[in-house]
Structure 1
Amino acid sequence: MISTVQKDTLNSPKIPKKKSAIREWFDSVLFAVIAATLIRWFFFEAFVIPSSSMEHTLLVGDYLFVSKLHYGTRTPVTPLQMPLTHQKIWGTEIPSYLDWISLPQFRLPGFSEVKKGDVVVFNLPVEHPDLYKNYDAVLPNLKPYPIDLRTNYIKRCVAGAGDRFEIRNAQVYVNGLKSENPPEMQNEYFMAVTTAINETNIFKKNGITEFSSYTETHDDTLTNNDESGYIVKTTAGTALKLKGYDFVKHIDMMVLAKGIRESNVYPNSDLLDWNKDNYGPIIIPKKGLTVKLTPENSAFYAEVIRNYEGNHNVVFKDGKIFQQEKELDGYTFKQDYYFMMGDNRHNSADSRYWGLVPKDHIVGKAVFVWMSIDPDPESFISKIRWKRLFSIIR
């Protein structure tokens, strides 16, 4: 009888225990977080544009998808991180990671290299522990972070590894050839007027968000005249349109002359009289490329050699680079580098001000805008920029 009962019990079907509502909810949330984390890490990530440095190519309030597959996904350096966060826990100042473990970084194969003209998201290199304090004048309130958690920036690659880069009178040249300008590139213009104008009406209607009266920003190195008018940041096409108004005497792009040195331009060296409109020439480092070091280019390459190449005991002193107290007369680079600039050329904190972007800081390629919200709409209906939805980034 006992054996019969045991036999019946073993052969009877087991009734699965039903999960509680809380358990089902927890499993669903866990699955969603894991799936979202894997997609974000391996395939693509969503970003929002917070500043005007890429206008008018990208506008403040644009939401875009960035492909990790184009250049290859990076393995995490800081694995102890709360999922779906970057530097801090949402809405707090609490770090979202622990730096107890630091892993070597690898990049999975991609189907493209970073090319000149690409709009690229990358981690800001100068949040390096030995650099961040040097850039308060350009980027205040920087803090040091691991490579994969440094602040995400978006700019256009204007010169790649191995290129000879130069800016002449605000025009980019690569390998001696004039580069094609982005179609929505902005510059700073002086607009001389014959009478006072309705600023909101004229500028808003023409998509100009950055403007000021000439007296507010008077700078003799830029304008050198006594005319009344406005300083505006806009595209060449819009500048031509403004020129057609009967109250506009003339409109001219404002360019710093060659030889006028800007102290906050990278690198800060008395041997170089570079500014935002006249920069270089300089060779962008490429993996395996050996350069002969001179007092002039040593100022440019020192930060790269010391902080991004995995070297130790590197010192830049008196225009010379020393390693292990031995002067270097040449150097062979260990990875590729890129020169990045914003399309809003006269209002962008980019490689002209903080240097090159190493390949191991590249996050991905900006592909398309999926949503665009105007932070200062004329009405509730116009808050969404409908024409920008699902537009390809060029």
Structure 2
Amino acid sequence: MAGYFAIFLVLLTLASGLIWLLDAWVLAPKRQQRLVLAQSAIAGELPESASQELVKEPYIVETAKSIFPVIALITLFRSFMYEPFQIPSGSMMPTLLVGDFILVEKFSYDVKDPVWRKTLYSNKTPSRGDVAVFKYPEQPTVDFIKRIVGLPGDRVIYRNKQLFIQKACATEQTSGCGKLEIVDLQLKNEGEFFQEQYPQRRYTEQLGEVSHDILQTPMRREPTHMFYKQANTDIDEFVVPEGHYFALGDNRDNSRDGRFWGFVPADNLVGKAVFIWMSFEFSDDADSWLPGWVPVGVRFERLGAIH
């Protein structure tokens, strides 16, 4: 089921639309009828002020008619085209930072209704390397954002901070699959980002056709005892079931992702993150008089497409 805000928008659209229809079909004709009866009673024209008072729309009708077109447009746009999201944590650094505001393309994957999230139109499936928003499998009212690493049928291993993928073979496919391959990493820099007091290494990772940056914290050990345990696999090995996807955060040592809770059902997919339309910077100075949620700057250089 959708989040509370999506349900609220749909209910508000329906309520304002129904009030508008009720007025057009029932209430407005009754007001006109009252005006005709009043004019007949005095055998003439009523004063302009009295006529306007008799046919005046109730406040709730006037409000519904004014907001319905706007709310309906927002609901349609947000439900089926693009939905704005704010990045709340650092799990997708350096690709996405806290304070980034992004657009998620809803029609990149299956198009779903905005309340019950039943598929209305089957579209594309996620590609390896997509930055996807989905309903958190352990709490479906919460939206998560991670990078799609494993497709249905893939075997994924994350061992000693290195990613390995054995791609599933499609029907009659004989090359480019079935072999466990290491995902290429190229060191970019170290010390640009920190996790607590530990410096992080920034790598460029080549995931299929997608080249993107990730962060690793060499001083942090893998918490394999907390990893999702799949039957008949090693603790750091994941075989993606049909109709599911395996997702990781780009900030590999600071992300609660598929390593900890398993796989993303296709029905949970919301859309593909495609664009950063605003990015605010916040102060991390504990002595600052400004509340932590008040922006102290705009990172214009971050605006643009998401890779």
Alignment of 1:187-226 (within 5 A): 206=192, 208-212=193-197
Deviation at 1:115, TM superposition (A): 0.9
SS of 2:102's equivalent? strand
The 3 A distance-change label for structure 1 pair 209 and 373 is: farther
Q: Which runs of 5+ in 1 are unaligned?
A: 1-14, 79-103, 128-146, 190-202, 213-230, 238-250, 287-335
Deviations 1:270-311 (A, max 9, x none): x8663xxxx21x42112xxxxxxxxxxxxxxxxxxxxxxxxx
Q: Does 1:253 align with 2:218?
A: yes
The 3 A distance-change label for structure 1 pair 63 and 381 is: closer
The 3 A distance-change label for structure 1 pair 370 and 255 is: same
Residue 36 of structure 1 aligns with an amino acid whose one-letter code is I
Deviation at 1:20, TM superposition (A): 7.5
Q: Does 1:157 align with 2:148?
A: yes
Deviation at 1:53, TM superposition (A): 0.2
The 3 A distance-change label for structure 1 pair 181 and 22 is: farther
Name the Cα RMSD after superposition: 3.5
The 3 A distance-change label for structure 1 pair 107 and 263 is: farther
Alignment of 1:158-307 (within 5 A): 158-175=149-166, 176-180=180-184, 206=192, 208-212=193-197, 231-236=198-203, 253-254=218-219, 256=221, 262-267=224-229, 274=235, 279-280=236-237, 282-286=238-242
Q: Which has the higher contact order (CA 8 A, sep 6+)?
A: 1
Residue 117 of structure 1 aligns with an amino acid whose one-letter code is G
Instruction: Calculate the TM-score normalised by the size of structure 1.
Output: 0.50
Residue 210 of structure 1 aligns with an amino acid whose one-letter code is Q
Percent identity at matched positions?
A: 33
Query: Any conservation in 1 of the 2:280–2:295 contact (CA below 8 Å)?
Result: no
Q: Does 1:372 align with 2:286?
A: no
User: What is the CA–CA distance in structure 1 between the aligned matches of 2:278 and 2:78, rounded to whole Å?
Assistant: 18
Question: In structure 1, what is the equivalent of residue 255 of structure 2?
Answer: 348
User: What is the CA–CA distance in structure 2 between the aligned matches of 1:337 and 1:126, rounded to whole Å?
Assistant: 14
The 3 A distance-change label for structure 1 pair 180 and 34 is: farther
SS of 1:41's equivalent? helix
SS of 1:387's equivalent? helix
SS of 1:57's equivalent? coil
Question: In structure 1, what is the equivalent of residue 17 of structure 2?
Answer: none
Deviations 1:32-61 (A, max 9, x none): 112111111111100000000000100001
Deviation at 1:256, TM superposition (A): 4.3
Which of 108, 120, 137 is the aligned partner of 2:132?
A: 120
Q: Which runs of 5+ in 2 are unaligned?
A: 1-50, 167-179, 205-215, 289-293
Deviation at 1:388, TM superposition (A): 1.1
The 3 A distance-change label for structure 1 pair 381 and 365 is: closer
SS of 2:95's equivalent? coil
Residue 183 of structure 2 aligns with an amino acid whose one-letter code is S
The 3 A distance-change label for structure 1 pair 174 and 365 is: same
Query: Any conservation in 2 of the 1:170–1:255 contact (CA below 8 Å)?
Result: no
Question: In structure 2, what is the equivalent of residue 306 of structure 1?
Answer: none
Count of residues in correspondence between the two structures: 226
